Amino acid sequence: MKGLSVASDTMSHEEMAQVIQNGGSVLHKGVLYTRVDALPSEADLSVESNDEDQIQAQIDKLLDQQAKHKAQIASLKAAQQAATETAAQAQQAAADAQATAQAAVDAAPSGPSLAGPTH
């Protein structure tokens, strides 16, 4: 498929992408595309087609993606909260250990031992 491929109004985004991936280029609505990431989105192509079923399919697809993204965000926020709580617990445990060590030092007898030499 090397060379120029003309995209008609019936080519899907996937078909156009395949042409470019195989070394071709796509002419769509007077614009020459040579990179897949520059192609019109499936949603844009649906709007151009003026096909109610295609437009509704794209709306449904985008709503599904939105729901998945919301679930991912909720999961990340929960992980972030757990990490924050774990860090706070570790910090408290370190402070408690330091206080326990200090209390042991404070309770230890100081000065010379009252027990004499042990010969």
pLDDT tens digits for 44-56? 888 877 778 888 8
So where are the chain's domains? 1-40, 51-91
pLDDT tens track for 18-30: 999 999 999 988 8
Q: How confident is the model at residue 109 (pLDDT cuts 50, 70, 90)?
A: confident
Q: How confident is the model at residue 69 (pLDDT cuts 50, 70, 90)?
A: very high
CA 98 to chain centre: 38
Phi, psi dihedrals of residue 32, rounded to the nearest 5°? -95, 120
β-strand 24-28 against 3-6: which pairing, if any?
Answer: parallel
Sort 30 into a burial class: Cβ within 10 Å, 0-12 / 13-18 / 19+. exposed
CA dihedral sign, ordered 19, 4, 47, 54? negative
Which one is predicted more confidently, 85 or 118?
85
Residue 31 clears pLDDT 60, i.e. is over it? yes
How many CB atoms are closer than 10 A to CB 16? 22
Whether the full predicted model's pTM is greater than 0.85, yes or no, is no
